Amino acid sequence: MSGLFLESLATDAVTAVLLVPAAAAALLALLPGYRLPARLNVLASLLTLLAALALLGGERPAPGPYLQVDDLNIVFIVLNCFVGFTTSIFSAGYIGHELETGRLTPTYLRFYHAMFQVMMFGMNLAFVSNNIGLMWVAVELATLSTVLMVGIYRTHEALEAAWKYFILGSVGIALALFGTILVYMAARPVLGEGQDAMVWTVLVSRAAGFDPALLDVAFVFLLLGYGTKVGLAPLHAWLPDAHAEGPTPISAVLSGLLLNVALYAVLRFKILLAASPEAIAPGPLMVTMGLTSLIFAGFMLYRRRDIKRLFAYSSIEHMGIIVFAFGMGGPLANFAGLLHMVMHSLTKSAIFYAVGHVAQVKGTQKIAEIRGLTESHPGLGWGLVIGVAAIAGLPPLGVFMSEFLVVSSTFAREPLLAIPLVAGLLIAFGALTLRIGSLAFGEPSGSRAAVGASPLPMYAHLALVLVAGLYLPPPLVAWFQHVAGLLG
């Protein structure tokens, strides 16, 4: 009886992870005003997080033809719901300021809150999907919702950024669709026509019998397609514009969450190829794209004049590190990749929380017009300093630990690859150090007006990153080691 109860509770938690944001989106699309929708947005995000935590600590439902929860996707689900919740808190104050200044109208605010929950629904659905076709649809839904939010200011620059995001994202998703179809064609002779040839748990258990040539071609298309959404160079062109022109909460979500959704899809298909002994090794392709993104973004950081574009290129850099780590494979590199993904999501979203408040107080995103933040706004300034120190990989913060593990595993297995890896990290470190010096210190410039919103979400993230750099609980380490083993 207790087993049936736990199974029912787990099934209800999966349903809640999807149903709460879907229902909240429908309700928020109808509610006028600002304060009530903003609070409802926070409440819905909190309930979704609680449902995800229930999955983390309890029984998990058995995989079905459409949905599943396993050790891999639960990492992404919990991280997604946590950052979604903290972003909804940050968003409440940020969007309220945009309403007061006239940048957004009440109608657009209603649209914004509804789309925020649609986005959360799409991302959660992508994570729990057991059907590769459904996962593709969910990724596309999450992408389209963020496209609409990027263009919400309706300026020429915002609309141009949204269109660029839509066009390049559509190219990427079309490539991913073609790769998904090729996987189905490879599975059909073994599994027959119908749904079984698209159910991931069935595919991975029978992958050894699939045509390896078709799987090879499929993975190339899937890596290029979903790699566009990850923001890997040279498929990254949409990302800096989307960050710079959209609302800052969406920048936090793009860097902290949406890039992980596409990465998750790539990892699922990497596991599928690893289950086929004659298929191509996906590692070299991922290593190449990861290193290219890291080095390219590192150099581009020196040329940025917009603070949000600066950290957009930092996201490209770090997604390159993560893809490189997963491409290297093996227990240590996969562990480092998982840890770096979590640390990057927490740190980069905290940085964008700070940047959003700074841009509103100073009335600009131009780096040259922002000076002396630690004197004019100590809470924000020092929060940004800590965030940049973390994302640059300084000890004792969590990103240092994950980057150290990536470099160590690379030195142990492929010493020559460690040279461009370390070079890319140092190039990016130099650029970020240069920028934060002018932003945070010196004679203050611009407005000294008080920040209207609470910096609590920013400091909560930074506290977690600091704790992770000093101490990782043994159960968390064991869990990540297990997931690292699944990734091959």
What whole-number distance in Å separates Cα of residue 225 and Cα of residue 175? 5
* Cα–Cα nearest to 341, from 405, 384, 422: 405
Beta-carbon count within 10 A of 443 CB? 8
Give bridge partners of residue 67 from the DSSP assignment.
129
Beta-carbon count within 10 A of 416 CB? 9
Q: What are the pLDDT digits (tens) for 288-320?
A: 999 999 999 999 999 888 999 999 999 999 999
Q: What are the pLDDT digits (tens) for 234-265?
A: 888 899 999 888 888 988 988 888 889 999 99
Q: Determine the average pLDDT of the residues in 413-442.
A: 91
CA distance between the termini of the chain: 37
Helix, strand or coil, per DSSP, at residue 157: helix
Question: Contact at 8 Å (CB) between 246 and 108?
Answer: no
State how far the alpha carbon of 463 is from the alpha carbons of 221, 266, 472, in Å. 39, 30, 13
Beta-carbon count within 10 A of 433 CB? 13
Question: Contact at 8 Å (CB) between 385 and 436?
Answer: yes
Read off φ and ψ for residue 199, nearest 5 degrees: -85, 120
Residue 182 has pLDDT above 70, yes or no: yes
* Cα–Cα nearest to 431, from 307, 280, 339: 307
Question: Contact at 8 Å (CB) between 217 and 175?
Answer: no
- pLDDT for res 10: 53
Residue 196 has pLDDT above 80, yes or no: yes
What whole-number distance in Å separates Cα of residue 477 and Cα of residue 263? 21
- Of the chain, the percentage scoring pLDDT greater than 90 comes to 58
Read off φ and ψ for residue 280, nearest 5 degrees: -65, 145
Both structure tokens of 24 = 């909240």
Question: Chain-wide mean pLDDT for the chain?
Answer: 89
pTM surpassing 0.75? Answer: yes
Return the C-alpha torsion angle 395, 399, 402, 404, nearest 10. -40
Cα angle value 257/33/138 (rounded, 5°): 30
CA 134, 135, 139, 140 torsion-angle sign: negative
